[in-house]
Amino acid sequence: MSKNRKRYQNDKAEKLKAPPIDIPSFEGLPGPREVTIKATWTDEEIAEALIKNDGLQYLAAESIGMCKSTISLRINQSDYLKEVRANCRQTRIDKAEKVLFKKTDEESLGGAIYILKTIGKDRGYVENNNTTFDPQVLEQFARLMKMLSNPPSKNEDS
């Protein structure tokens, strides 16, 4: 390599060097929060975290210092943890039903309609957008609407 080329490379490298910077002092500031890293968790520890967090995986993982993807993987690998998660979800559904039933006891129309459309399906309370009408019923309805829109005058009554 020629001397000129070597000098050019050294000059270029010198220009690319970052200037020194002053790093501020962090004295007196709170340090990073302490995190306990644990390599393995037992199924019982994960189950307890799931129960305490109503089956919400991300909260359970956070509460024991586990990654969300790790807890998901562990649950999918364990029938016991799947059952615990399912039980937690059933408990949450029960709580939601309790709130809904309370609303219907308070005569909430929306709550009543929701219950009829879901739980009352076996009694025929289903939403059906494909409604067909009997032509005779439609004709009677049309006559009724015509009568209501044109009430008889007082002269006709006497």
The string of pLDDT tens digits covering residues 137-156 is 778 878 887 877 776 666 65
Among 119, 59, 47, CA closest to 87: 47
Give the residue, 10 or 44, on which the prediction is more confident.
44
Q: For the stretch 92-128, what's the b/e string if a residue is b when 16 or more beta carbons lie within 10 angstroms of its beta carbon?
A: eeeeeeeebeebbeeeeeebeeebbeeeeeeeeeeee
What predicted TM-score, i.e. pTM, was given to this entire model? Answer: 0.48
The pLDDT tens digits for 60-113 are 999 999 999 999 999 999 999 999 999 998 998 888 888 888 877 787 788 777
